[in-house]
Amino acid sequence: MYSALRTLSAVLFLVTTTATAAVPGEVIAAFNPTTGRYAVMSATNGSNFVEVTCGGDLTHLGSPRYFLTARGGTIVLPDTFLNSELVASDEDCTKTVVISNSPGTRFSNSPHWSPDGSQIAVYGISFDLASGTQIEQGIYVADVVRGNATDPGRPTGIANIHLIIATLGEVLISWSGDSQRIAYVAGAPNGSGGQQGDIFVYDLISGTSVNVTNTPNLSEDQPSYSPADERIAFIRLVGVRGSYRYDIFTIPAWGGSAFQVTSKATSGKPQNKFPCFSPDGLNLSFSSGDSLYASHIYRIKSDGSGKAVNLTAKRAGSFSYNVWRR
């Protein structure tokens, strides 16, 4: 993709150190746009901190676990931009495997494993290379192919890739804990004749979507499904005394009243973004700062109680998009 999300992708795949994670659910990976690398750290207190040159979404089951991201390919598409490839890397970044087989497609840099590890969801744009025309764009789902004689759990490819949701712009997405639904952002009427971002949930079984937030004149983005229950965290653009800030809210996955988790008092910063639930749903990690290039990773109770803990306070750089190791 050539949107702002491209800054979230680490495009080098060289090992610098071993990323040893101690306890599932106690480690997260966060992207550092300053260095172009992912930091893997404890979600308890920020210790066990290492930087790895690969990164992305982490598989949720099995050991070792695997990162998933996208990188630029070598085929020039009809819109003059390159195609891209989905790649899986082990958590120590010692081996990276191209798992996509779609030369005419450009994928988002934020693909996601399903929690059960059987599928991948990713935004993409697909072209017919022979005719030079765009075929479709939106959210795709593909089955994960795994295994070989020496490593039966390793992702080796994808199959049955197909479009499930047609959207005109790149969006961030998140799987439900049971791998049956996908939360995503789509345009909706803003009540003033224009469009805004709302949070939707797509059900893979019924093939239908529901607008969960449905809030005219309030723009929302960056959904994160709780792995443990039917809640979705998201960010909302909030007007405060003539200026704007982003704060994190949660809402039941079937809709209802939204609950505000962060505020000005949480970190003192105006941009609280990229929420991500812990595996048990009791905590949220998020990026907070003045901008994408001046932010730290915090952890807070998902009910907003207690103090937010800055996990990267003693680290140089900036940290944004983050995922828990489950």
- Which 3-state string (H, E, C) describes 186-215? EEEECCCCCEEEEEEEEECCCCEEEECCCC
Say which residues have a Cβ less than 8 Å from residue 108's Cβ, sequence separation at least 6: 1, 5, 70, 122, 123, 124, 170
- pLDDT at residue 171, as a whole number: 85
Give the per-residue pLDDT at 135. 96
Q: pLDDT value at position 62?
A: 67
pLDDT tens digit sequence for 251-291: 999 999 999 999 989 999 999 999 999 999 999 999 999 88
97-111, 159-173, 182-196: range with lowest mean pLDDT: 182-196
Residue 77: DSSP 8-state: P
Whether 102 and 118 have beta carbons less than 8 Å apart is answered as no
Percent of the chain at pLDDT > 70 equals 91
- pLDDT recorded at residue 269: 92
Task: Return d(Cα 122, Cα 140) in angstroms, integer.
Answer: 5
Q: Is the pLDDT of residue 17 over 60?
A: no
Q: Is 92 helix (H, G, I), strand (E, B) or coil?
A: coil
The share of the chain scoring above pLDDT 90, in percent, equals 63
Asked which of 58-62, 88-92, 127-131, 218-222 is least confident by mean pLDDT, the reply is: 58-62
Angle at 111 between CA 60 and CA 34, to 5 degrees: 100
Average pLDDT, the chain: 87
- Average pLDDT on 127-141 reads 96
pTM for the model stands at: 0.89
Report whether 107 contacts 94 (CB < 8 A): no
What is the pLDDT, as a whole number, of residue 64? 75
